[in-house]
Structures are given as structure tokens and as C-alpha cells.
A and B are shown apart, each in its own frame.
Chain A
Amino acid sequence: MSDFMSKINPFYKFVFIIVFSTVITFIHSLWLNIWVFGGAMLLILTGVKYTQYMRVVKFMLPVAFMSFSLFVMGLFFGEGGGGMFGTVTTQSTQTGITMATRFLSFAGIGLVFALTTNPYDLVKSLRKDAKLPRKFAYGMLCAINLLPHIKTEYQNAMMAFRVRGVRVGPLSLKPLFSMLVNAFRWSEMLSLAMISKGFYED
């Protein structure tokens, strides 16, 4: 197993994937979907380090579920379908399958890109090859670096609220509000730290 996909210039890979996805958006073909999805899977199997396979499975589980719901939707409500648990025709079955595989093929393309691209390399390449201003490039990297921090802070916020005797569930807005306030503070701190290191662009 090699990871040859990771060695392609990230910016060119990015452009190719955007253009390719845009093109297939306009083509409604079951076989095209299957080929694209199959190709993506083949690239993942041959072009991605095997240590990443667990991530593939984790990502594909919700994708498979979504894809299945799209199939059911097409089956009953697509062209020729009979509404909720109504009659199913060959045409509606085909609509369902096309919708489901279409979803899979887009997910496959995205997955290939996500698994073989290091965000740092992508931003670096965007700067070099696409002449992206430094402000945006480093802003993106900052945001990427904040993600793990945001996760732990969210857990802390949930706990803090519970300790104070506030009832919070996974859907409560209160910890999100305090996260939002904190996120403003963080971005300010980060930008001050960057400016203090001489980061400047007019």
C-alpha cells in the first residue's frame, strides 16, 4: 500500500475535485455514479495508508445511512412512486438507486480528498499556487488548530453548567452561548499573539 495520492500537489487536487464534482452534478447517470464511487473506493484502498481505514469506516457509516434514506425517498416519492408505503414501480426503484449512488459518489470524492490531504500542505499550496493572501491562509490554519481546543472547552462548559445546577442536555443552547463568547475571546487572543509575532498585512 502506498500513499501516492498524498503526494499530488494539494491545490491541483482541490481544483480537480471541484471541477469534477461540478461536471458530474449535471449528469444523471446511474452507471457514472457507480463508476465514480467505485473509483473513489479503489483510490482509497490503494492510495491511502491502511492506518486510515478505521476513519473510512467511521465516515461511511452515516453516509450509508443517508444514502439508504435517499433510496427509500426515491423509491416511494420519486417519479412513478406511490407515496408513503404505496406501490413501487421499476422507474421509482431506479430513481431511488440513482439518488443513493449519487450521494455515495460525492461522499467518495470528498473522502479521497480529506484522507489524502494534510490541511497544512493545502494551505501552503493555496498560498504558493493560488496566491491566496497570507491573512486568509493563516486564518484558516488558526481555525483548524482551534478545533480540538473547542471540543474540550465545550465539554468543560457542559460540566460547568451542570455543577452550577443548570440542566443541560446535548441540545441545550446555553453552553453554546458561552462557547460563542469564549470563541470571540480566543480569536482576539490568537490575533494579538500573531500580531505580537510581527504578522502584518495591509
Chain B
Amino acid sequence: MSLNATGITFKYFEDSPRIVLQDVNITVPVGKISVLQGKSGAGKSTLAYVLAGLYPENGGFLQSGTVKWENVDIHTLTPDNRVAYVAMMFQNPDLQFCMNTPENEIAFCLENIGIAEADMPPLIHDAMEKAQALDLLGKSFTYMSGGEKQKCALACILALKSKCIILDEAFANVDEPTARQIITTLRGLKLTILAIDHSTSLWNADHVISLDGTGARVFDLVPSLHAVGAPVITTCGLSVGAITYPNMCFEKGSITAITGKSGAGKTTFFKALMQQHKYKGSLALMGREVNKYKKKHLYERCGIVFQNPANQFLALSVYDEVFFSVNHWHKGNAEAKREKTLELLRIFDLDVYKKYSPYLLSQGQQRRLAVLTMLAGGQNILLLDEPTYGQDYENICAIMQLLLEKAKNGLTVLYTTHNGALARNFSHKIIHLEDNRE
């Protein structure tokens, strides 16, 4: 018994020359945890959507191939029947729910499969208990962390009693301990799991499926780090909202990894630095309080790459996106700028996509493009929120090498990560934020 995909050939448009998946055959064994791997942009998410029956029903063109659970063809079922076989958990936890609380959301799910309202409460309770999220039952999604939302998403799927769960990088915004906790829960339920993730160790997978022949590699990059300069950012008794921070200091040319549970205030610290949040205590940038800066001057010194990079694109093609930054920050004639842009795109393997819209790139590629647009700028300080999530080994190395080179020339880099090995290998120091909300 298994979920079988045979001969899948898929493209986004019927007459498009670019084939996303070419004759893919995979088998997901029942009751086991399988991890799907492949290079960034290899079509992992697309394959997941095809397996879940979401494509081609809601987009794209399936040239050939079938997806079957035993003898049931997933693609011939209507969504309400299909959900008994496969359901999906998505990367962005904010965009998974149409109701306000888990209680209402699960009720919505149960209504979809035709369960009467009177029978719902025990089923809802049961599903939340299994997902170990019973304490969140009536809590509003607005006040939940990414990890809590993913637990609720899992509860929904458990309520629907789907046989197979497909997770598309579902723990992108979740810290490692929470992710492990959810995975342990999943393992205990003996469900069929197909997870897209670059880390197999997190999943302790029974089975690894490779989409393009490249296996996972253990992170072993040990760069030789250069000496750092004078302090650039210093904090003293800093608190933002309910979060208090230890006293921190970041030197010129240093690379600092900020780790900690989701909700510990990593992103909040960046936002305070960018004047998006008010703060108490002292947060000084080059000897001057951050809130004394004019925004314009602050942003000339300090760049940021968001967790979700899609909202920082401003051009209509990948090339224009990078060229914009190059043009804004560099002197020289047009030809030199053009060369510089292409060179940068080549470093991150994005040159083949230069005519594409940034929004058509895969999640990993978008993140790389966002890092690139900031690196092309002339800021002295760069804040990166999860720059390497969803990247394969080569691209993590490429991103980090480029950061290292820039840091040698005096760029101060602060990045958040849930990847412990990366933080240990690639930073002058690690700042671990405890969850010390009052």
C-alpha cells in the first residue's frame, strides 16, 4: 500500500517550453516518514501540489501521469472526497486559515466533509489533543506564533482523518525544538508523511526521495574568520513591548547569528533597529540612538532581508530587480553596471531566470534574490531574517561566502537562523535569545 505517482510531466502553461517536472515517478510508503529533496527550484513544491491533487485542478497543465492511493486516482476525486486520502500543510502559517480560532477552523473542516454541527465538539477536542494543542483551542490566530499555528494546521488535518500528509517546508518559521515536538507527534500517529525539507536529520526520515539525484549534504563549511573592528551597534537595557533583551554589541565587519525560539523576539529586534517598533532603553547605531535618526539616513546605513522576501520586490524582472540596486548604489557607465548585475546573478545561479518576474521564482530562489538585491546595495549593516531557509547546500555556501567577503570589507552582518550547525560554523558569535516575555 502506498501513494504512487507515475510518469508525472507537468508545466505551468500548456504551450510553455519549460517543463517543470519531467516523467517523475515516486512512491511514498504508508505509515512512514519520507523526505523529498532536490535543488532549490527543482520543482519540489510543484510535485507536492500535484500529489495533493491541487494541481492541475487549480493551475498548471499535467501533460501525463497519474497519482494513485492503492487503486484510487487522486485527481478524479472532488476536494471533499480527496481529503480522506491526502491533505497538505503549507509553508506560510499566516495563510492557512479562513476562520479566527482553531475551534472554528476545525468546525469548518468538519463541515466540509459533511459532519453535523452537533457531533463536532468531541471531534474538535480529540483532534486538538492529538496535535498537542488543546490549550490553543479558543485562542485567536492573530496572537499565535508560527509554531502554534502549524500545530493547529496539523489538528485540522487530523480532524479530517487524512491518510497522507504532505508538508511543504512547513517549519520555515518554526524553531527547531517546536518542529521536533510536532514531528514526534506525527511519528506517534503512524501516518504517511511526505515532507519537503532540506534537513533529513530533523525528520529522522525512514525514506529519502531525491528529485534530481542530489542527496543531502551535511553542513561542514568552516570558514576562516577575519578580525572585527570597533562596535557599530550597542544595546543597553533594551526592551521592545513585552520582550527584554540582554545587552548586546555588534562590531564592524562581524557576523552574528541570532538564535532562539520563535516568539523570542529575533524579528522584533530587527524591526526596532529599522524604527518599525518603539523601544525602551538604549539602542545605539554608530554612537547615536536609533530613534534619533531620520528614516532616510537610517535606511542608507542599514539594510534588511525579510523572512518572507516576496514583499520587497519592486521590479518586473529578476534582472531589473538587481539592476535597480546596482544603479542606485554604484557609479560607472551603463555597460559596467550591466556587467555587475549579470555577475551577481551568476553567483546565485539566477542568471537563467533574468527575464522572469521575481514572483514566478520558487521560494528558495526568491530568498536568494532578496539577499542579492541587498548585497548589491551600499549599506554598512545588513540584517537578514532566515536568509538560508529552503536553500540547498550549494546555495547556502554561495550566500554565506558572499556575506563573508562583504564582511571582510567592513559590512556588519546580523542574521537569524534555526540552523544550529550554520550558526556555529558561520559567525563570530551567536546570540541566543531566551523566551523572556513578561
Contacts and interface: CB of A to CB of B under 8 A. Distances in A.
A and B, one complex? yes
Interface of A: 120, 138, 141-142, 145, 148-149, 153, 155-157, 159-166, 174, 178-179, 181-182, 185-186, 188-200, 202
22 contacts: A141-B98, A156-B306, A156-B311, A160-B306, A162-B295, A163-B299, A163-B374, A164-B328, A165-B300, A165-B328, A185-B310, A192-B88, A193-B96, A193-B97, A195-B57, A196-B79, A196-B87, A197-B112, A197-B157, A197-B160, A198-B80, A200-B78
Given A165-B377, A192-B54, A197-B112, A153 B311 contact: yes
A100 B393 CA distance: 67
B373 to A, nearest CB: 7
Contacts of B359: 181, 185
Interface in B355-381: 359, 373-374, 377, 379
Contacts of B317: none
Contacts of A163: 274, 299, 302-304, 312, 374, 377, 379
Contacts of B379: 163
Nearest to A160: B312
A155 B276 contact: yes
Contacts of A182: 310-311
Interface string B84-127: 00011010101111111000100011001100000000000000
Contacts of A200: 78-80, 112
B54 A196 contact: yes
Main secondary structure on chain A at its contact with chain B? helix
A164 B156 contact: no
A190 B54 CA distance: 12
A149 B310 CA distance: 14
A185 B366 CA distance: 14
B329 interface: yes
B331 interface: no
A196 B83 contact: yes
A198 B325 contact: no
Contacts of A148: 142
Nearest to A123: B99
B83 A160 contact: no
Q: Which of B78, B98, B274 has its CB near the most chain A CB atoms (within 10 A)?
A: B98
Nearest to A162: B299
A188 B58 CA distance: 9
A196 B52 contact: yes
B113 to A, nearest CB: 5
Nearest to B86: A196
Given A145-B141, A200-B112, 5 more contacts: A159-B274, A159-B276, A162-B299, A163-B374, A196-B79
B82 interface: yes
A197 B109 contact: yes
Given A160-B306, A162-B299, A198 B95 contact: no
B100 A120 contact: yes
B334 to A, nearest CB: 18
Contacts of B95: 149, 186, 189-190, 193
B94 A149 contact: yes
Contact of A138 (B98, B141, B142, B302): B98
Given A163-B299, A163-B304, A189-B95, A195 B54 contact: yes
Interface string B279-307: 00000000000000001100110111010
Q: Which of A145, A155, A185 has its CB near the most chain B CB atoms (within 10 A)?
A: A145
A141 B98 CA distance: 6
B293 to A, nearest CB: 12
B314 interface: yes
Contacts of A160: 304, 306, 311-312, 314
B99 A198 contact: no
Q: Which of B57, B78, B95, B313 has its CB near the most chain A CB atoms (within 10 A)?
A: B95
B69 interface: no
Contact of A166 (B49, B97, B113, B314): B314
B203 interface: no
Nearest to B99: A141
A181 to B, nearest CB: 6
A120 B104 contact: yes
A111 B313 CA distance: 39
A120 B78 CA distance: 27
Given A145-B141, A153-B311, A200-B79, A164 B54 contact: no
A159 B80 contact: no
Given A159-B274, A181-B359, A198 B82 contact: yes
B99 to A, nearest CB: 6
Given A185-B359, A198-B109, A145 B83 contact: no
B101 to A, nearest CB: 9
A162 B296 contact: yes
A166 B96 CA distance: 32
B54 A159 contact: no
Interface in B364-419: 373-374, 377, 379
Contacts of B328: 164-165
A121 to B, nearest CB: 11
B61 interface: no
Contacts of B304: 159-160, 163
B246 to A, nearest CB: 25
A142 to B, nearest CB: 4
Nearest to B357: A181
